[in-house]
Amino acid sequence: MPYAIFATGGAQFRAEPGVTIKIPLLEAEPGSKVTFDHVLLASDGKHVHAGKPVVKGAKVTAEVVRHGKGEKIKIYRFARRTGYRRHAGHRQPFTEVKIADVKLKD
């Protein structure tokens, strides 16, 4: 089964056709197609191609499924003996994409 490791949003993800993954927020409408050209490693099932730094001609195409927010992270700042306490929360936005195809060469 072909797979690829690509980089987007400062992180690396493993992509296989038919798999749905959550990546950092993209400016794309749900239902639209996106292409990731920054492929670091790709495999066709028999041979593995490592990039220097990227694999030339390799690309990952995906369809945007939805946008959302992740689980809430609670942030609590505290300084002892001063009465300093701050409470906040954060939910990281993400884009969920379904991998359509992994191509090694054009």
Digit-coded pLDDT (tens) for 33-73: 999 999 999 999 899 999 999 999 999 999 999 999 999 99
Give the contacts of 70 (CB within 8 A, at least 6 positions apart): 22, 91, 92, 93, 94
- Percentage of the chain with pLDDT > 90? 94
**For the chain, what are the domain ranges?**
3-103
**How much is the pTM?**
0.86
Whether the Cβ atoms of residue 99 and residue 19 lie closer than 8 Å to each other: yes
Closest C-alpha to 13, from 33, 42, 50, 44: 42
Specify whether the CB–CB gap between 36 and 101 falls below 8 A.
no
